[in-house]
């Protein structure tokens, strides 16, 4: 099954094929992690189905179609290790990413194993049968209950738009929509457009709509740090294509080198230094150097616009909030005559537009809410009832935690990809994390089958000790030191998203589960 595959799970080799086929796994979501789960389960000979609420695969790369949508991790790392691609650009557009995942589904023969337009409402664990009863609703109408020995939740974190609670929002007389649900039927040509938010999506679509609209006014709560990258929109040079396609082992070396330089190489620049005391600027000497370089880039772009420079230099350390990549396109768009950047907080929305706290009023034809996602609402809005009928979100009580981001006590054989504290800030690709997680989950399934299909329930003390370690680690990073508002944190201010250590450490800890981590129930 695995040969030289570094993500293979050798524990499965001892499990008879008949036992593997007798296990049933339901995978929720046909995005990057769900497709990966299906591939690995199929290779292992384990029975499975993938449940997808959308009519197509791709997850975030199917749902987000706003102008300029593209990946901000280099594509030679943001791709499956076992399925390299001759990417046309260093950072591909949404349509290219969606096609990559659609082609992967075809190449690995997963189409017949995916139920589209099938939304999971929730699931309940039956302690007597050791099965999960999964409630699903069909887009065409009707509901159904499906049974499974195990569930893999591969729904991601950035898939439920965060609709802002702004007074008067329903009073607006024009058109409005969230950037994650882009209204392509609305022509912005010649329109006065208001954009609420200056995060990743606004960063990408603003330069494009600024060329169409009469005016674009961005309302910024907190400026992002901007990391310059001259390759962000560039095509991969022909010479590089030749090397990747013809020189033995070059593609592997290129991928590894990219991971090491841009991943582990940058982690030190966002790690806090004990005794460093510049909370609004930096968390260490290395972080200060990083800041100085980023400020220098802004100064170069805005040497003739001190008003924009003042608005665009963040008052928090680099790494404390998601940084954005730019080759100068976004920064240049802010200097256009028809673009305005407003740092005055929004007070309310009126019939005509937006009013800020200083009393200034702005009239718009269209308002776009680029306000991100409900990242801390893991698995929302699904409900999962585990042992003794405990509901998962009730147990979390607003503090989502999991062992290795994968397992939660009291919920046997319920596994997650991209669960709590498995997000990355500077080091690597989320695809790498998913490959590690799925490898570990297959190890859990192997352990279950080796013990007469008993379900695995992570030990509470193991789970708790692990999360104490995670919390300590996050407190030592820029995002744990700063009090800046960010989707990395939940309502209480705890970092629920981020992994604070190296990629190597995550690789090592997800090689395979051990008997002392779990109880067999």
pLDDT in tens, 286-300: 999 999 999 999 999
Q: 520 burial class (0-12, 13-18, 19+ CB within 10 angstroms)?
A: middle
Confidence grade of residue 102 (pLDDT, cut at 50, 70, 90): very high
Confidence of residue 343 (pLDDT cuts 50, 70, 90): very high
Task: Tell whether the model's pLDDT for residue 3 goes beyond 70.
Answer: no
Distance CA 20, CA 149 (A): 11
Question: Residues of the chain with pLDDT > 90: what percent?
Answer: 86
Angle at 515 between CA 514 and CA 519, to 5 degrees: 125
pLDDT band at 9 (very low <50, low <70, confident <90, very high): confident
The residue that leads in pLDDT, 256 or 119, is 119
Question: Bridge partners of 423?
Answer: 498
Asked if 486 and 320 touch (Cβ cutoff 8 Å), the reply is yes
In the predicted structure, residue 214 carries a pLDDT above the cut 90: yes
Distance CA 378, CA 155 (A): 9
pLDDT value of residue 375: 76
Dihedral (Cα; 36, 71, 341, 363), 10-degree rounding: -60
pLDDT bin (cut points 50, 70, 90) of residue 2 is very low
pLDDT digits 0-9 by tens, 37-85: 999 999 999 999 999 999 999 999 999 999 999 998 899 999 999 999 9
Mean pLDDT value of segment 476-494: 92
Instruction: Give the CA distances from residue 117 to residues 142, 306, 408, in Å, rounded to whole numbers and listed in that order.
Output: 12, 51, 28
CB atoms within 10 A of CB 365: 19
Q: Alpha-carbon distance 467 to 464, whole Å?
A: 5
Architecture of domain 10-160+374-520: 3-Layer(bba) Sandwich (3.50)
Give the whole-angstrom CA distance, residue 419 versus residue 328. Answer: 34
Average pLDDT over residues 257-275: 86
Taking the C-alpha atoms of residue 8 and residue 13, their distance in angstroms, rounded to an integer, is 10
User: What was the pLDDT predicted at 8?
Assistant: 84
The two beta strands, 47-51 and 24-28, are parallel
User: In this predicted structure, what is the pLDDT of residue 146?
Assistant: 98
Distance CA 244, CA 480 (A): 39
> What's the pLDDT tens digit per position in 251-265?
989 988 888 877 677
Flag whether pLDDT at 476 surpasses 50: yes
Asked if domains 10-160+374-520 and 169-231+261-369 share a fold, the reply is: yes
478 pLDDT band, cuts 50/70/90, is very high
For 436-472, how does the pLDDT look when each residue is reduced to its tens digit (9 = 90+)?
999 999 999 999 999 989 999 999 999 999 999 999 9
Window from 193-197, 263-267, 472-476 with minimum mean pLDDT: 263-267
Question: In angstroms, rounded to a whole number, what is the distance separating the alpha carbons of residues 508 and 140?
Answer: 44
Tell me, what's the pLDDT at 1? 39
pLDDT tier for residue 13 given thresholds of 50, 70 and 90:
confident
Q: Which CATH superfamily is domain 169-231+261-369 in?
A: FAD/NAD(P)-binding domain (3.50.50.60)
Can you give the length of the chain in residues? 521
Question: Per-residue confidence at 373, pLDDT binned at 50, 70, 90?
Answer: confident
Q: What is the mean pLDDT of the chain?
A: 94
- Model's pTM, two decimal places? 0.95
Secondary structure E strands in 29-82: 47-51
pLDDT number for residue 258: 85
What are the domain boundaries of the chain?
10-160+374-520, 169-231+261-369
- Label each residue of 131-197 as H, E or C: EEEEEEEECCCCEEEEEECEEEECCCCCCCECCCCCCCHHHCCCEEEEHHHCCCCCCCCCCEEEEEC
List the single range of 36-40, 128-132, 245-249, 331-335 with lowest mean pLDDT: 245-249
Mean pLDDT of 165-178: 96
* Reported confidence tier of residue 428, pLDDT bands at 50, 70, 90: confident
Strand partners, 178: 369
Per-residue pLDDT, 31: 97
C-alpha distances out from residue 197 to 104, 146, 212, 348, Å: 34, 41, 19, 14
- Helices 32-44, 430-450: axis angle to 10 degrees equals 40
Q: What is the pLDDT of residue 377?
A: 81
């Amino acid at each position: 099954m695995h040969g030289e595959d570094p993500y293979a799970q050798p524990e499965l080799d001892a499990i008879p094929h008949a036992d593997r086929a007798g296990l049933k796994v339901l995978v929720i979501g046909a995005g990057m992690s769900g497709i990966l789960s299906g591939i690995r389960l199929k290779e292992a000979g384990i029975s499975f189905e993938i449940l997808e609420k959308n009519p197509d695969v791709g997850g975030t790369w199917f749902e987000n179609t706003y102008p300029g949508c593209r990946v901000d991790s280099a594509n030679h790392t943001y791709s499956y290790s076992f399925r390299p691609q001759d990417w046309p650009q260093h950072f591909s557009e949404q349509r290219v990413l969606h096609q990559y995942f659609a082609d992967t589904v075809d190449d690995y023969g997963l189409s017949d194993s995916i139920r589209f337009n099938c939304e999971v409402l929730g699931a309940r664990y039956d302690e007597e049968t050791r099965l999960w009863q999964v409630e699903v609703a069909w887009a065409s109408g009707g509901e159904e209950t499906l049974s499974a020995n195990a569930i893999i939740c591969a729904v991601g974190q950035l898939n439920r738009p965060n609709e802002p609670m702004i007074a008067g929002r329903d009073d607006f007389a024009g058109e409005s929509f969230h950037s994650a649900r882009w209204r392509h039927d609305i022509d912005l040509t010649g329109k006065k457009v208001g954009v609420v938010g200056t995060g990743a999506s606004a960063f990408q679509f603003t330069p494009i709509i600024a060329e169409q609209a009469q005016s674009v006014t961005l309302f910024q709560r907190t400026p992002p740090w901007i990391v310059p990258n001259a390759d962000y929109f560039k095509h991969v040079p022909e010479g590089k294509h030749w090397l990747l396609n013809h020189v033995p082992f070059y593609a592997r070396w290129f991928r590894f080198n990219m991971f090491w330089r841009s991943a582990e190489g940058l982690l030190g620049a966002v790690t806090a230094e004990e005794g460093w005391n510049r909370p609004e600027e930096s968390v260490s000497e290395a972080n200060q150097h990083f800041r100085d370089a980023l400020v220098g880039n802004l100064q170069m772009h805005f040497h003739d616009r001190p008003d924009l420079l003042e608005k665009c230099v963040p008052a928090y350390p680099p790494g404390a909030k998601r940084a954005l990549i730019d080759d100068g396109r976004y920064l240049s768009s802010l200097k256009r005559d028809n673009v305005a950047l407003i740092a005055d907080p929004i007070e309310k929305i009126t019939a005509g537009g937006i009013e800020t706290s200083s009393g200034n009023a702005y009239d718009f034809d269209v308002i776009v809410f680029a306000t991100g996602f409900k990242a801390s609402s893991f698995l929302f809005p699904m409900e999962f009832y585990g042992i003794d009928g405990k509901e998962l979100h009730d147990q979390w009580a607003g503090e989502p935690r999991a062992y290795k981001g994968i397992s939660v006590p009291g919920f046997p054989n319920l596994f997650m990809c991209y669960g709590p504290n498995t997000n990355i800030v500077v080091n690597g690709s989320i695809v790498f994390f998913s490959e590690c997680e799925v490898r570990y989950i297959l190890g859990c399934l192997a352990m279950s089958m080796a013990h007469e299909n008993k379900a695995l329930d992570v030990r509470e003390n193991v789970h708790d000790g692990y999360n104490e370690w995670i919390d300590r680690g996050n407190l030592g990073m820029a995002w744990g030191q700063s009090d800046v508002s960010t989707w990395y944190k939940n309502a209480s201010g705890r970092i629920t998203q981020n992994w604070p250590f190296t990629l190597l450490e995550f690789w090592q800890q997800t090689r395979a589960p051990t008997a002392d981590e779990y109880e067999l129930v």
